[in-house]
Amino acid sequence: VPNQIMSGRSLFSPIFSVSHRIKLISAIPALLLTSLFFLDQNITTRVVNNPKNGMVKPPAYHQDLLVLGLITGILSIFGLPWQCAATVQSLNHVRVMSMIESKQESDGSNVEVIESVCENRLSGFTIHAMVLASIASLSILKFIPMPVVSGIFLFLGRKVMTGNDFLGRIKELCMDQTLLKPTSTIKQVGYKTAFSYTLVQALMLALLWTLKSFQKTALFFPSVIGLLVLMRLFLLPKIFSQEALDALDTPVA
């Protein structure tokens, strides 16, 4: 953690100090980054507005992108780090603000169901105001070990995994089929179809993880996410029936 915010450079980014040729070449990675911002923002907002969360207020996808674009432009002028959607933190925020009840299903198992969400702007504003106020504590925060910070994000990520259909389906594929719930998607579409669909998801996840793990290939990460959309729209319908896709593909908005 740095001891001070800024030193040794001008307030504004030296945009005009590079040649026009460099600016044109920079447009290529800029397009990839734009795709990443677009996908990251939309994926996060759509997951947050999942019908399971029971949101009452309607989404504002276009307004969110407009605000994100304006903020990114201002930060670029001053050479400050860009902002993007915080998926894990956003999902945990929704969970914390939710009224959750445990309901018993016909087989006797308990399932957590979100009854309502306290939708407000005050909690989000307070969280980010406290993040801003932490600037005054930079000299203290630098003593926090990185494993502690990593552990916090590991805990948040583990909490978000609760109720994830992909992970839940992997667990069910390893179970005795006679122990599956009547509402299980494996019983609806069959073991072979569920296994094949989950295998495709796992392979795509491994591809994304591999690309992001290496600095030389991380630049292509956004384009691969866009490739997943094309696969879902054009390739998967040729492999799986529409009934199977409707059962296996969880609606997000």
Query: What pLDDT score does 1 carry?
Result: 46
Query: What pLDDT score does 191 carry?
Result: 94
The pTM assigned to this predicted structure is 0.72
Query: What pLDDT score does 95 carry?
Result: 86
**Integer Cα distance of 239 and 42 in angstroms:** 27
**Integer Cα distance of 48 and 101 in angstroms:** 19
Q: How far is CA 212 from the centre of its chain?
A: 15
CB under 8 Å to 212, separation ≥6 — which residues?
Answer: 218, 221
Q: What single-letter DSSP state applies at residue 233? A: I
Query: What pLDDT score does 206 carry?
Result: 92
Query: What pLDDT score does 107 carry?
Result: 65
126: which 2 tokens? 């307070």
Query: What pLDDT score does 136 carry?
Result: 85
Per-residue pLDDT of the chain (253 residues; tens, 9 = 90+): 455 555 667 888 888 888 889 889 988 888 888 888 888 888 888 888 888 888 888 878 888 889 999 999 999 998 888 888 888 788 888 888 999 888 877 666 777 788 889 998 899 899 889 988 888 888 888 888 989 988 988 887 787 777 788 988 999 999 998 888 888 899 999 999 999 999 999 999 998 888 888 888 877 777 777 788 889 889 999 999 999 999 998 765 5
**Integer Cα distance of 228 and 221 in angstroms:** 11
